[in-house]
Amino acid sequence: MRKVAIAVVFCGLLADGQVPEFKDLFNGKDLSGWVNVNTADDTWSVRNGELVCSGHPIGVMRSEKQYENFVLHIEWMHMEPGGNSGVFVWSGARPNPKSRLPDGVEVQMLELDWPNLHKRDGVTPPLAYVHGELFGVNGVRTTPDNPRGERSMSIENRCKGRGEWNTYDVVCIDGVIKLSVNGKVVNGIRSSTQKKGYLCLESEASGSNVRGTVRSGNQLTG
């Protein structure tokens, strides 16, 4: 059984100049504040204060509110090799009928053994593909800081292996995203054609069980 733990903190400056505060998007008890978009009733659950996703079917649940400029703190952990998950920011939560995944910019979370389990003709994909890629999905276009095709890849692999917590800090401002992995900025995109939307948590069969907590804070503007 593959598991991912996710903790999300959302933070920013309020329009009236109030000091920003981090606010939990996940209360550790139930799924209040989240809307099931296209997953099953039992895809998402809460265990021991963590958000758990079965990985079946592929799809997402979204935040109740849309956000524009913000800081997002995510803590996640895979428990078995090859786990695959992610968070979509600036999403309209409109799933593609074929992929079942929505529009937006994906912040990818892949377990370190993912490349070894997805060899093509005996060739392992580059290690940089393992974690922290940023890319537009379903019509959303971005300009990558560190191009791998249309995607932006992390310049350094800072992720920890299964059974260990990873921390993502995602800064999203005016179409620009910067990603810090375990305390260091390693990736970014700019010129996103979509700059406001829901946060969507991904359920993906290849990642199987997703486990975590979700927190959020204030939005910077809007």
Which CATH number characterizes residue 160's domain?
Answer: 2.60.120.560
User: 1 in a domain, yes or no?
Assistant: no
- What's the pTM value of the predicted model, to 2 decimals? 0.87
What's the domain range around 96? 7-221
User: 153 in a domain, yes or no?
Assistant: yes
Tokens 């791998």 map to which residue?
148
User: 18 in a domain, yes or no?
Assistant: yes
| Mean pLDDT value across residues 147-173 | 91
Q: Which strand (E) or helix (H) includes residue 194?
A: none
- The pLDDT of residue 99 is 95
Contacts of 149 (CB under 8 A, 6+ apart): none
Residue 162 pLDDT class (50, 70, 90 cuts): confident
User: 123 in a domain, yes or no?
Assistant: yes
User: Which residue, 3, 95, 10, is CA-closest to 52?
Assistant: 3
> Whole-angstrom Cα distance, residue 2 to residue 81?
7
Query: What φ, ψ does residue 141 adopt, rounded to 5°?
Result: -110, 145
> Whole-angstrom Cα distance, residue 36 to residue 158?
31
Report the alpha-carbon angle 209-153-211, nearest 5. Answer: 15
Q: State how many domains the chain has.
A: 1
User: 2 in a domain, yes or no?
Assistant: no
Residue 120 pLDDT class (50, 70, 90 cuts): confident
Instruction: Look over the chain and give the mean of its residue pLDDT values, rounded to a whole number.
Output: 82
